[in-house]
């Protein structure tokens, strides 16, 4: 009989935990934010540029501002150098991403929500999220096409806005650390001295 109170407390704790995860409004909104990020990842994995553009159109507020700071790490720039900085409107950012994807043969985007702070009115939230990206493409060095591997790690801060059945990204600022190297099976092409000189510039 002594076990009954313990069992009752255990059931209450489990039930409380289930309620917190499934029904507590801030947790519900946090899960919806994670789902919105996952939808972007799914669109990218489709390798359909039209779907990626449509996903961005659906995920960004019309007034969204996107700020990117990109450091490029390579054989000739081990410290990442001076970051390239650019600010985008929603339309400009969608066009920019489409142009980036156009020459690539393979690419992925894997975001993960790191923090979520709901506003007092529960209409928006401050968020941070990280992501990992990789892509394969081709670059020309002294007339030689060399298959390259691009990979990056990204840290973003921003705000999401909650609309009926929608989570929209508002202003977002991201730091991107990108590396570029020849794919292992393509490295032999840089044995050509002129191609190697162009690569090492």
Q: What are the tens digits of pLDDT across the range 42-81?
A: 999 999 999 999 999 999 999 999 999 999 887 666 666 7
- Which candidate, 104, 102, 128, 130, places its Cα nearest to that of 117? 128
Would you say domain 3-199 falls under CATH 1.10.287.3510? no
pLDDT interval class at 13 (50, 70, 90): very low
- 16 vs 195, more confident: 195
DSSP string, 60-71: B-TT-EEEEEEE
pTM greater than the 0.75 cutoff = yes
Tokens encoding 106: 């393979």
Instruction: Please list, in sequence order, all residues whose beta carbon lies within 8 angstroms of the beta carbon of residue 144, skipping any fewer than 6 positions away.
Output: 189, 190, 192, 195
In the block, residue with structure tokens 């020459």: 103
93-138 confidence digits (pLDDT tens):
999 999 999 999 899 999 999 999 999 999 999 999 999 999 998 8
Tokens encoding 158: 């921003």
pLDDT at 72: 87
Give 83's DSSP letter: P
């Amino acid at each position: 009989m002594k076990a009954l109170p313990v069992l009752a407390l255990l059931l209450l704790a489990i039930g409380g935990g289930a309620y917190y995860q499934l029904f507590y409004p801030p947790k519900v909104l946090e899960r919806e934010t994670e789902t919105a990020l996952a939808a972007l990842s799914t669109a990218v994995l489709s390798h359909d540029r039209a779907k990626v553009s449509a996903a961005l159109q659906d995920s960004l507020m019309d007034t969204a501002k996107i700020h990117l700071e990109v450091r490029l790490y390579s054989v000739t720039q081990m410290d990442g150098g001076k970051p390239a900085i650019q600010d985008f409107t929603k339309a400009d950012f969608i066009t920019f991403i489409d142009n980036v994807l156009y020459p690539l043969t393979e690419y992925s985007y894997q975001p993960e929500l790191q923090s979520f702070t709901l506003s007092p009115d529960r209409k928006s939230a401050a968020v941070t999220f990280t992501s990992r990206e990789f892509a394969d493409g081709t670059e020309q060095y002294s007339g030689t096409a060399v298959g390259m591997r691009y990979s990056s790690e990204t840290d973003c801060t921003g705000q999401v806005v909650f609309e009926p059945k929608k989570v929209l990204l508002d202003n977002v600022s991201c730091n991107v650390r990108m590396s570029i190297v020849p794919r292992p099976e393509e490295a032999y092409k840089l044995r050509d001295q002129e191609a190697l000189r162009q690569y090492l510039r």
